[in-house]
Amino acid sequence: MIKISGSHFGKITVIRLFIFLFGLLSIQFSSCNIKLMEYEQPHYSIEFYDLIISKVPFNDSIGKTYGMDLDSMKLRYITDKGIVMSKAYYSSFIAAKLSIFHFSEAYIVNYSGSGSIKQIIQTNYYPVYYSITRYGGKFLFTTDEGNYLILGNVNTMSTIQISDQMRGTEHLAEFSTYNDKIAFVEKDLNYQSVLYIIDTAGNNKKKVISLNGASNEDMLSWYSDNMTIAYSDLNSSSISNICKVKCDGTGFVNLTNSSLNQRKPSYSGDGINIAFEEYSSSGIPDIIVIDRDGNQRVNITNSPDEYDRRPSWSQTGKYLLFFTSSINSTVSKLCIYEFQTHNKVYIDSVTTASWVL
């Protein structure tokens, strides 16, 4: 996901969100400008969508969530919950209304029948990251205050707290490919960051591997075998590299061994490639793609004058989305990149996005 991507993303502050609130309602394909067709009636046939995106229209400070078909370039209005907070599956996704300090109003948008929207109640929590299982049975969120990891049941809306020591690693939690496990990072009593797994009932917590350092801006990504997890960790030179390990603690590999900081790995749905952010010595991020063994490196952006962030693959691995902005501009765009042809589509005014997986 679109780790938003989300598409799967790092901790969003109000300032960074407001940066997204400017721009024109247009789409650019290669050198052409194509106007997006928008339909304002709710439409819940998610199987016809490629993307779920949140847009903030020029004259609207709240924003709306749409389904998007890449072939027709049409948007269909889904809800006024204007921030996509999780991966979008064929059954459901999580959206939220922006609060001043956090995402207190979050909703599960379901696509069975005519569709339904159900609010997630978070008592005494300040959520910053959400995820949901492929078939919509379970959801999780992590919190800013207390750094808790909370697991919830979609049908009953009941929640249990499965971590109470997530000090500063709020975004490092993700359901496995088969939705039977959760990987997350928790700091132990000695403040050592540790990667754990736990089942989706909140039981059988197991240590996977100790980490040298984990940032709350980082993400986890599961390989399609339901066993391997990609993540970023500090190497011996205190540089963040992309690593992988099996959830039983075996098979650790530093995939990049780079002198540059790298974050937010994202496995393609077919498991062939991994995309991630790589920061230049001046702190400018590009989007890099490697194969699952750490080879066949490609810099797909190579743009020293732009910030390229939050990569997320389509299910087939044909497309990669990421957000991009000029270092001299406050406007951020969503880029949809076709991996084989290198064609790019740019969409303005998008705050968050996720592939339909």
Which position has the higher pLDDT, 264 or 328? 264
Q: What is the mean pLDDT of the chain?
A: 78
Which of these ranges, 4-13, 39-48, 142-151, 333-342, has the smallest mean pLDDT?
4-13
pLDDT band at 283 (very low <50, low <70, confident <90, very high): very high
- DSSP code, position 19: H
Residue 205 lies in a domain: yes
Q: List, in sequence order, every residue forming a beta bridge with 290; answer none if it has no partner.
A: 274
- DSSP code, position 234: E
Reported as a single tens digit per residue, the pLDDT across 153-182 is: 888 888 888 876 555 556 678 999 999 999
pLDDT, average across residues 235-243: 91
pLDDT band at 320 (very low <50, low <70, confident <90, very high): very high
CATH number of 19's domain:
2.120.10.30
Which position has the higher pLDDT, 169 or 84? 84
Residue 202 lies in a domain: yes
Reported as a single tens digit per residue, the pLDDT across 202-226 is: 899 999 999 987 666 678 999 999 9
Sequential DSSP letters for 104-164: -EEEEEE-STT-EEEEEP-TT--EEEEEE-TTSSEEEEEESSS--EEEEETTT--EEEEES
Domain containing 316: what range? Answer: 14-355
* pLDDT for res 18: 35
* pLDDT for res 356: 82
For tokens 């008592």, name the residue: 123
Residue 9 lies in a domain: no
Q: Is there a contact between 258 and 212 (Cβ–Cβ < 8 Å)?
A: no
- DSSP code, position 305: T
Which position has the higher pLDDT, 122 or 285? 285
Residue 6 lies in a domain: no
For tokens 């679109």, name the residue: 2
Residue 1 lies in a domain: no
Residue 5 lies in a domain: no
Reported as a single tens digit per residue, the pLDDT across 50-71 is: 888 887 765 555 678 888 888 8
For tokens 């400018």, name the residue: 284
Residue 54 lies in a domain: yes
Listed in sequence order, the residues at least 6 apart from 14 whose beta carbon sits closer than 8 Å to its beta carbon are: 100, 101
* pLDDT for res 47: 55
Comparing C-alpha atoms, which of 44, 34, 125 is closest to residue 77?
44
For the chain, what is the domain count?
1
Residue 146 lies in a domain: yes
